[in-house]
Amino acid sequence: MTSLALKQHLNSPIAVRLAPYLALFAGMVTLACGTSYAKTLFPLIGAEGTSAYRVGLSAVLLIAVFRPWRFRLTRQDLMGVLLYGVALGAMNLSFYMSLRTIPLGLAIAIEFMGPLSLALFHSRKPIHFVCIGFAVLGLGLLLPLKQGVGSLDPVGVGLAAFAGLCWALYIVFGKRLSHIHPGQSVALGMSVAAMVIVPFGVAHAGAALLNPAILLAGAAVALFSSALPYTFEMFAMRSIPKRTFGVVLSAEPAVGAVAGLIFLHEHLTGQQWLAIAAIVAASVGAIVTTRQPPPVTETTPAT
């Protein structure tokens, strides 16, 4: 295939329509893999130290790659980046801290109530409520209901719920930054998030964060659980409506379950596979029933 034919293929209507959804799925995969590996660092530096690695090193990587100072920002953009970064930092720290006392799958399900509520709030067509219903069904099947609510640590549940609220705010504030370069917004937002999280990590883990072996592992966590997935998501946010973005993210627990099977050898039950099927049905339904917005003319960023 010639370069001209390849360019025409990539610019075809189908490719343009699918690109943001493929980016969002790639973000979910890298996030699930990175989180699976990140939890292995908890015994060494705690949830706070792992969060500091994840966000702090991600900020360094993103700044080095995208050099966000090359682009001009208005005062309103700076305020948007600040809100986006604070929501991002609080989401990461509270979610990792929730994993100390409640199971990973349950923490993800509780956290997901934030973006799922956002998707429900922006729903308009009856078919979208059907899609959300499938997502809720899948999440319900993934919950360890046999343990009972009383057996769950209330602090862990509260932290996961707060992470869900921050996740919804992250989507809202991120969408407001969709008019600027995605690499710039993610790099600056991650830098703000690092200012929120790193002090907690230093206070908890101290000099252990400077151990070369642990630092190398932290760099891998930062790359695969923050830098790559959030860049993919910011690209996806430029074209996917808030409602659809939230519903498609319903596949996150399913992707996490598959990552657990591959990397942690966590075998799934028939009920859990049924949950995955319900969540995938919700995601596919959201994609095929959502009308795409008209393209937005963008200006070239100043260098």
Residue 7 lies inside a defined structural domain of this protein: no
CB 163 within 8 Å of CB 98 = yes
Residue 253 lies inside a defined structural domain of this protein: yes
Residue 295, pLDDT score? 44
Average pLDDT over residues 114-139: 77
Residue 19 lies inside a defined structural domain of this protein: no
Given a cut of 60, whether residue 296 has pLDDT beyond it is no
pTM of the predicted protein model = 0.76
Average pLDDT over residues 239-268: 75
Tally of domains in the chain: 1
Residue 183 lies inside a defined structural domain of this protein: yes
Residue 50 lies inside a defined structural domain of this protein: yes
Condensed to tens digits (0 to 9), the pLDDT of residues 41-60 reads: 999 999 999 999 999 998 99
Binning pLDDT at 50, 70 and 90, where does residue 241 land? confident
Residue 296 lies inside a defined structural domain of this protein: no
CB 31 within 8 Å of CB 92 = no
Mean pLDDT (the chain) is 80
Given a cut of 60, whether residue 16 has pLDDT beyond it is yes
Give percent above pLDDT 90 in the chain.
23
Given a cut of 50, whether residue 96 has pLDDT beyond it is yes
Give percent above pLDDT 70 in the chain.
82
Average pLDDT over residues 26-45: 89
DSSP labels, 233-271: HHHHHTTS-HHHHHHHGGGHHHHHHHHHHHHS--PPPHH
Residue 5 lies inside a defined structural domain of this protein: no
Residue 8 lies inside a defined structural domain of this protein: no
Residue 33 sits in which domain range?
28-229+237-289
